Amino acid sequence: MSLKDDRAGRLILSLRRQGVTDARVLKAMESIDRAVFVHEKFLDQAWEDQALPIDCAQTISQPFIVGLMTQALDVQPRHRVLEIGTGSGYQCAVLSRMARFVYSVERYKSLLNEAENRLENPWDR
């Protein structure tokens, strides 16, 4: 088991204890390497259940919030989802594992470019 797997496992257990119980949401979140979506200087905190700063005075949301919001959406495989505020692209990546299409809008060009690059390249590591 790798360090990433160990950290991901602990995070998923923590999310379950906090009320994120949808197995599809947990599976989607566990399958995505959150470290790909955080700034390099915060890599050691990538699997912590906390929001982390990204560029443009924005944050990558706390995993609990991502899980809770995604669970509340009850995303089904044939759904199309519109996300407002792409940010790092993490929430979009989670949604992409559950919905047929995800459309995401970002007002900051630099965040949009970075998120597009992350989402075009495999994030499973």
DSSP 65-114: HHHHHHHHHT--TT-EEEEE--TTSHHHHHHHTTSSEEEEE-S-HHHHHH
Is position 1 within any domain? Answer: no
Is position 103 within any domain? Answer: yes
- The pLDDT of residue 122 is 62
- The pLDDT of residue 1 is 43
Give the CB-side neighbour count of residue 52, counting CA atoms within 13 A: 19
Is position 28 within any domain? Answer: yes
User: Quick check: 40 and 92 in contact, CB under 8 A?
Assistant: no
Is position 86 within any domain? Answer: yes
pLDDT tens sequence across 68-100? 999 999 999 999 999 999 999 999 999 999 999
Which token pair is 123? 């994030």
- Parent domain of 56: 6-120
pLDDT tens sequence across 11-37? 999 999 999 999 999 999 999 999 999
Asked if 14 is an active-site residue, the reply is no
Is position 33 within any domain? Answer: yes
Is position 125 within any domain? Answer: no
Give me the CATH number covering residue 81: 3.40.50.150
Is position 93 within any domain? Answer: yes
User: Quick check: 62 and 51 in contact, CB under 8 A?
Assistant: yes
Catalytic residue chosen out of the listed positions 61, 88, 96, 104: 61
pTM strictly above 0.75: yes
Is position 87 within any domain? Answer: yes
Instruction: Quote the number of domains for the chain.
Output: 1
- Distance CA(79)–CA(76), nearest Å, equals 5
